[in-house]
Structure 1
């Protein structure tokens, strides 16, 4: 039997919202759904609006090329290597990027508004809603952590499969991989492929999952999938998220919520992003930071 989930792209409903109307953001934690291994999830909506597929529309063709994770109001994290090769085509309007989540209320679409990018493999995506408001205007986000996982700890990685279609119809298959941390590289594994803080996880991940969330055993978001070797046991490499916590964000959705510019760490202080032990992170100047290790 075939199952279909549909959704309609609309103009941002926040533009016509009345003064005083409230939106709600609820942070969630996602503990591993399997003990170890990898596979497709039968329940497409398990991660709801937290897990996003990152796709591009070029002419009449649609491709799903990566994944992303919602962390706050109109804010998502993704992998730089997925979106950077397309930046020129996006700016020239040759490619139209979109983000989509599979929720119990149908497909939820988002438009890319801005990309915050630097020398890590994680980018911050500023996105605008392109669907109707969800029931009770409730959005779900991932709960972040500043904790560095331990060797042997189980990590769950989630994402969409990569695929191409001639029409606006894709399978939307959600995959997960669960495995143990086998190495930790706080200053990067190497100077070329993985020069940023990352961890090695013994599990299989596949194309399209890049940028997808990596959760620790308690379900907190550690970072996003950076790269992998498509073998039974991987390994897969996860870029840790804390290097981007202090990056300047020039706009927010919906507008007028906070003073700008802001940052992920500042938004935790406003209660708009949930983070475990935010005091462990200290921003130092424009690009510097200090992280106090804890367990």
Structure 2
């Protein structure tokens, strides 16, 4: 990975102002929970394409927006980059997907590069922030891929965007475009930020980035994280517990996904 300085996107804020905490209570900037979601072509020359942002909610389980998953193309392999210590990243292949039938959320299961590959996990919350409440998102929307000899080089920045909740729609904003529980927020939501976590003032995730009214404006809509609970995964073993079929709600009940 070749270092390159990328200019901040419009509306990006000072990262030192932000914090979140994982399911073990460790406070940090949230970067270790975030993943850029890409596809690549193989065999043949390297050809990476960024599609959006996701975040870990359990070991090997990534939440994102359904429309990011639906952008996966036949003949291309989906993967994530996981941020490690000292600005290192590891590549993890996606081996299972699940999308919610009635909202814009989905789940990816990823393979580890090494045995017992670990990751930081976000804390989800059932709290419903009211209009005027702080809302911020951390995303990997500022990316660049360019030809570098026979392959490609990649640059990517994690950036934070701060705003507030403008309005809550408990049963959906409308019947066609956003008919599920969601919020309007006023932070800048750039292309590539779809699927990223939306945090409240307590550093917990209450929503997932869905869409902006017009590209790169501060009229954005985010899906309630509650919609993740109905996503189904198959044949999973986590922390020595085996599940043939399990919803995210089942993993919450088992203490694997933290939902306060």
Q: Deviations over 1:127-155 (max 9, x none)?
A: 211x3368xx6521000111111111111
Aligned partners of 1:198 and 1:80: how far apart in 2?
14
Aligned partners of 2:78 and 2:243: how far apart in 1?
27
Structure with the higher fraction of residues in strand conformation? 2
Aligned partners of 1:3 and 1:109: how far apart in 2?
17
Structure-2 residue corresponding to 1:115 = 97
Please tell me whether residue 159 in structure 1 is matched to residue 159 in structure 2. no
Please tell me whether residue 252 in structure 1 is matched to residue 236 in structure 2. yes
Please tell me whether residue 214 in structure 1 is matched to residue 195 in structure 2. no
Instruction: Give the CA deviation at 1:109.
Output: 2.3
- Relative to structure 1, is the Cα distance of residues 54 and 138 closer, same or farther in structure 2, using a 3 angstrom cutoff? closer
The unaligned stretches of length 5 or more in structure 1 are 5-36, 277-295
The unaligned stretches of length 5 or more in structure 2 are 5-10, 19-27
Mean Cα deviation higher: 106-115 or 186-195: 186-195
Q: Deviations over 1:58-89 (max 9, x none)?
A: 352111120001001211111111221325x1
Aligned partners of 1:152 and 1:139: how far apart in 2?
33
Indicate which of 181, 185, 192 corresponds to 1:197: 181
Indicate which of 73, 76, 86 corresponds to 1:95: 76
Indicate which of 114, 124, 133 corresponds to 2:107: 124
- Relative to structure 1, is the Cα distance of residues 100 and 70 closer, same or farther in structure 2, using a 3 angstrom cutoff? same
Mean Cα deviation higher: 145-154 or 78-87: 78-87
Please tell me whether residue 56 in structure 1 is matched to residue 39 in structure 2. yes
Structure-1 residue corresponding to 2:23 = none
Taking structure 1 as the reference length, the TM-score comes to: 0.71
Aligned partner of residue 235 in structure 2, secondary structure: coil
Taking structure 2 as the reference length, the TM-score comes to: 0.80
Q: What is the CA RMSD across the aligned residues, in angstroms?
A: 2.6
